[in-house]
Structure formats: structure tokens, C-alpha cells
Structure 1
Amino acid sequence: MAQRGGTRGAKGVAWSAVDLAPVVLIKGPEGLLGDRALDRLRAQALAADPHTERTDLTAAGYQGGQLDMLTSPSLFGEPRLLIISDLETMPDALLIDLLAYIGHPAPDVWLILRHGGGTRGKRLLDAIAKAGYPVVNADPVRNDRDKLELVHADVRAAHRRIDQRAAQALVDAVGDDLRSLAAGVSQLLADVEGEITVEDVRRYHSGRVETSGFEVADAAVTGQTARALTLLRHAFATGVDPVPLVVALGMKLRGMAKVSVAGHISPGRLGMAPWQIERARRELHGWDDRSLSAAISAVAVADEEVKGLSRDPQRAVEKAVMAICRLRGDRS
């Protein structure tokens, strides 16, 4: 079992450096950094014991005494990973139970807490830090230096290279949205061979276009028909060209397909970072080989249509988005 504590600066430990402990707090509103920290901790738990039992709990739905039940000794003795999200919405019952728990954590239990920001539960957050448990910094990233490091880290994880000017051009194009920045890196890794250059970034990225494209793709592959179509129409209304929208849809589905057939192959051989593989696995929920193949075919048709075979390229993209949502199942 891990011991308390861990190296931590005044602003907390980075997501890429956090290690499992009886209690880990992920603090801040930046979802991408929080997700990556959680992915890292989950991977560590499974590496320690593949039979680790995972339980997810939303703070707002907590009932008094539930923490004791979830952390009590298991019948079969397997370690447990308990994840409590949205801690900023916690009721008083959870606050009281957690304050008692952190002083005497249960053996063979990894407790990961996610707090999206605000002052709710400040007493608990201070107590966790004072006890020496790791606190992951998931605050918004505003400066270019940290955004550039994110770009370079993702490229290195895929065993690839990106020119410094290209990395800066990508940061300049995407802005402050880290999820869009990560998606932009993923697209370049999928579509460009060899070192990524500034010309590649200029060809594929124009900030607003790629942001909208990946938002549409994210909504479509999770079956959010109304959101996907609303985003798509907004993209067209603001001047987004159909071609990069189809590129974003194709990249998303290709990544899912690679993960679907690869099993537990190493991330480096897939050309994807571990967090990208974990996300693709989540997005594969509700898909099978037949539906995924049909979705890829629909995007291939759209790709031909937006490049000259159709008199209405926007309608071609809309048909592809609707096909993907239908194949996934409408979850709007």
C-alpha cells in the first residue's frame, strides 16, 4: 500500500508526476488535466493489481455512511479504487465523513477526490494538504510555456517530433482550450508523417475550425445528435469550411478503430498517448465493429463529396454527422 505524502510544490503536483496514495485530491476546473491525472492513477492501480475493484461516485448523490460501506474490507480481499467526483457539490454528510476518513484511511483502498473549484469544502481541502496527501493542480493553463510543454509531451509520448515553430503556431491557433489543443496534436500525429512542421500546422489548423470540428466529432461519436447538429450549424454560420470538419470526424473514428482492434498493445505502437487510448476506450461504449465500420464509411463518402462530388458540401457533412449519431444511438 502506498504511503502518505509525495513531493509537492506550493501549487501542487503536476498530473504527469502524481503517484497513488491512500488519498489523492485533484483540484481545479481544467478538465483535461484532471482527466489525465485520473487516467494515470487508474493505470497505476491496475498495474499494482489487475483485480482492483473500481467504484465511481458523484458527490451530490452521497448518502451518510456510504463511505464506510465502500471502504470496508472486501470479501475477496482485492484492492479498491474509489473515485468521488464533483466534490464542490458535496453535501454536509460527505464533508463530515471525509474529514473523519482522511485521518484513518482504510487499507487496500485508493481514494481519489476531484474538486472543480470554489470554496465549498475548503476545510477538507486544507486538511488533505496538511496531512501530506498528493494534491494535483488542475488549474486553467494560460501561459504559452505550459501549453507548449503540453504539446511537446503529447508528441514525445507518441515517439514523434514537432518543430518548435510548429508547436508555437498550434498554440497560437487554438487558444486557451486545452482539449482542443490536445485534439489538434492528435490530428497532426494521425495525418502527418515524420516531423510535424509549421507548414503542417498552417495546412490543418486555423484555431476556430479545428475547435469546432472536434467538438462536433466528440458529440457525434457519443450519440448527442442535437448537440452535434447545433455545433455543426454554428460552425457553418461562422464560416467554417466543410473539409476540416470531415477531417476531424475521420480522425476521431480512426483513433477509436485502432484502439478497438489493438487490445492492450503499447501506446507507442499505436502512435497515440495513453490518455488518448483511454478516452477512445470510453468513447467505444455503445459501438461494435459493424457500426464503427459503417460510420467510417459514411465519413469516407462525405470526404469525397466535400472535395468536389457534391454540390452541397455542408449537407454532405450534416449527413455524415447524422449517420454517426444514428449508428451510436441518440443520447440527446
Structure 2
Amino acid sequence: MANPFGKILLVTGNSEFLSDRAKRQAVAQVREAAPEAEIAETAASALAPGEFTALTSASLFSQATAVVLTDLQDLGEQVAGELLQYAASPSDDTAVVLVHGGGAKGKGLLDKLRKTAAVSEVAQQAPKYERDLIAWVRQEARTQGRAIDDEGAALLVAAVGSDLRSLAAAVDQLVTTLAEGERLDATVVGRYFGGRAEVRGYEIADAALDGRLDLALERARWAESAKVAPLLITAALASGLRQLARVATADPGLRDADLAREVGAPPFKIRSLRQSARGWSEASLRQALDAVAHADLQVKGGSAEPGHAVERMIIDIAVARARTS
């Protein structure tokens, strides 16, 4: 374990969950290194001039101390001067953790801290695209000693959404629920999360885009009986069609991995989308997108019975696809 004392950990990035977790891990490291350490945590904006210097000064009650400053971007100018002065010559008995909330505010202070030898930075950027979320889920499982494949991770993202806190909790649930040696894959994810509304929308979209009309309608009726919000289904179809359109119009010479980066989907899904794209033309894709937009307006405006609007949309998509075949 690295010694956290005499050092400054700078946590930056736009993910509140990841930054909070990095902060908690840093505090845990301090407690492990020195259980008796005094730990003071405060928002940077709450510090008056002189208070940071006081917090990092020797304590009468404990030899080791730790100071955690959150929302570093809100630190006052005078206190920022104290911090930079301290960073130039940190105390061997003090650990400092600084958490910056991301964005341009406070960039000047960050730049100066990054040039200081005592400062080490941990950047916490939230995954932006679906493929990044899938990779994040796979890494999350690995840190808990289990492996999950791309398909299982993609299904979990579809089920839970892009909120990292919820995804981390879902991975933790799967890992702690599985028996020793049981494979963590799409079958297992479907068993525990297959009832989520988003997964149903994703499954309906896949069937519709592949031209499996009977299966798409069957799943849509099942979703209606389970009180799935129609907006989730129209959103899933819209997202699937947009990805399909990008794949269909891409350079056919692009490798799956390169196209995945452009589309924002995992490579295994690109292979599926490329196969589906063979049944579509530019005109049929436009017609299908129009059908989704029309259904979305009907559902939001209440001008049609939602279940009927969703089924009509699925049929119109099937008709559009059939005209290409």
C-alpha cells in the first residue's frame, strides 16, 4: 500500500459517482495507514482565509491528519494561495485529498497544482458512448474478480441505463448473487434484469429492425401488459434506427472496431447491425424513422391509444423494410 502522507491527491472529472468513490478509497487508504488519523472534510467554499493552513498544521491529538476538500473549483483566491504554498512543501504527517467537480472553473489552480511534485491526479471521466459504458461494466466486474462478456454487459446497460451508481450496484448484485464458478453472461443478466422496461424496448427494437414482425408484436403486447411506458419503446426504436442508418451509410471497408467508434456501439453489435442493414435502404430507413416520430407524437399527445400507436409503428417499420427486400 502506498503511503498517502506527505502527498496530495487531486481527483478531477465530470462524474460525481466516480469522484466520490475515489475520495472514499483515498480516505480508506489513510485509515488503513494510520487508524488514529484525524480526518477533516469540508467544501472548499466554506473555508475562510487561514483555515486551510490551520487544518494542515500539526494536531495536538493525533500525529497523522488528513484534509479532504470537495468542490475545489469554488475555493477562494486567498485560500487557493494557502493551498499552493502548502503544496510546495507538504507536511510528512498530513494527507490531502482535493476533489474538483469538472468544468473550466478553477482551471488556473488546477494547472498550478499539476506542476507541483507532491500532487498526483486521478481523472474520473464518465463514459460517454454505449461502447464505453459496456467497457466500464466489464472493468467493474473484473475489479470484483468476475468476468462478463460484451453481450451481457450491453444487456445490463440497456436494462439499467447510463447512471454509473446504478450500474455499479447492478454489477455488485450479480457478482454477490452468482454461485461460485457460474458464468456471468447475457443469460444471467436477463434472468435478473430481464424485467426492466428498457430491456423490453431494446428487444422489441431488435426484432422489428431484423424484420421479425411476429416476434416484435408479441414482445410489444407483452410489454403493454406489463405496463411498460410506450415512450421507452419508441425511444428504443429511434435509437436503433439511428445506429442502423449510420452503419448502412458508412464506408463498407471500415473494420468493426473503427465503425464502433464512429457509431458509439460495441463491436459485437456492429456485426449485428451490419447484418440488419442489408435489409434496409436509405429511403426505407427514412420511412421507418417517420413512423417512429409519428408514433412518438401520438403517445406524447394522447391522440391515440398508446398500445395501438406502438403496434402501428412496428407494422409500418416492417412495411418499410419489406419494400427494400
Q: Which runs of 5+ in 1 are unaligned?
A: 4-18, 212-235, 241-332
Q: Is the 8 A contact 1:52 1:81 kept in 2?
A: yes
Corresponding position: 1:63 with 2:48: yes
Corresponding position: 1:131 with 2:116: yes
Superposed counterparts of 1:198-277, under 5 Å:
198-205=186-193, 238=229
Q: Is the 8 A contact 1:163 1:195 kept in 2?
A: no
Shift of 1:21: 5.8
Aligned residues: 201
- 1:324 corresponds in structure 2 to none
SS in 2 for 1:32: helix
Q: Which amino acid aligns with 2:59?
A: S
Structure 1 window deviating more from structure 2 (109-118 vs 19-28): it is: 19-28
> 2:195, 2:82 → 1: CA distance?
45
Q: Which amino acid aligns with 1:203?
A: R
Shift of 1:152: 2.8
SS in 1 for 2:157: helix
> 1:191, 1:65 → 2: CA distance?
50
> 1:178, 1:131 → 2: CA distance?
31
Measured against aligned partners, the alpha-carbon deviations of 1:256-306 in whole angstroms (never above 9, x if no partner) come to xxxxxxxxxxxxxxxxxxxxxxxxxxxxxxxxxxxxxxxxxxxxxxxxxxx
Corresponding position: 1:185 with 2:135: no
Superposed counterparts of 1:278-293, under 5 Å:
none
Shift of 1:200: 2.1
Corresponding position: 1:74 with 2:74: no
> 1:142, 1:98 → 2: CA distance?
32
RMSD: 3.1
> 1:85, 1:123 → 2: CA distance?
17
> 1:109, 1:45 → 2: CA distance?
10
TM norm structure 1? 0.53
Q: Is the 8 A contact 2:42 2:68 kept in 1?
A: yes
- 2:134 corresponds in structure 1 to 148
> 2:61, 2:160 → 1: CA distance?
49
Shift of 1:237: 9.0
> 1:156, 1:139 → 2: CA distance?
19
Corresponding position: 1:46 with 2:34: no
Superposed counterparts of 1:295-310, under 5 Å:
none
Shift of 1:189: 2.4
Q: Is the 8 A contact 1:174 1:180 kept in 2?
A: yes
Corresponding position: 1:31 with 2:35: no
Shift of 1:20: 6.7
Shift of 1:38: 1.5
SS in 2 for 1:83: strand
- 1:168 corresponds in structure 2 to 154
Q: Is the 8 A contact 1:20 1:44 kept in 2?
A: no
Corresponding position: 1:91 with 2:79: no
> 2:23, 2:196 → 1: CA distance?
28
**Seq. identity, %:** 34
Q: For the structure 1 residues 61 and 134, does the alpha-carbon distance in structure 2 shift closer, same or farther, using more than 3 Å as the test?
A: same
Q: Is the 8 A contact 1:85 1:113 kept in 2?
A: yes
Q: For the structure 1 residues 195 and 131, does the alpha-carbon distance in structure 2 shift closer, same or farther, using more than 3 Å as the test?
A: same
Q: Is the 8 A contact 2:5 2:93 kept in 1?
A: no
Higher Rg of the two aligned structures: 2
TM norm structure 2? 0.54
Runs of 4+ deviating beyond 6 Å: none
> 2:9, 2:80 → 1: CA distance?
15
- 2:279 corresponds in structure 1 to none
- 1:316 corresponds in structure 2 to none
Superposed counterparts of 1:11-30, under 5 Å:
22-30=7-15
Q: Which amino acid aligns with 1:199?
A: T
Q: Is the 8 A contact 1:24 1:112 kept in 2?
A: yes
Q: Which amino acid aligns with 1:195?
A: R
Q: Which amino acid aligns with 2:191?
A: R
Measured against aligned partners, the alpha-carbon deviations of 1:97-148 in whole angstroms (never above 9, x if no partner) come to 2222211222311110111022222221001111132111112211445433
* Structure showing greater relative contact order (alpha-carbon pairs closer than 8 Å, 6 or more residues apart): 1
Q: For the structure 1 residues 31 and 209, does the alpha-carbon distance in structure 2 shift closer, same or farther, using more than 3 Å as the test?
A: farther
- 1:223 corresponds in structure 2 to none
Q: Which runs of 5+ in 2 are unaligned?
A: 200-226, 232-325
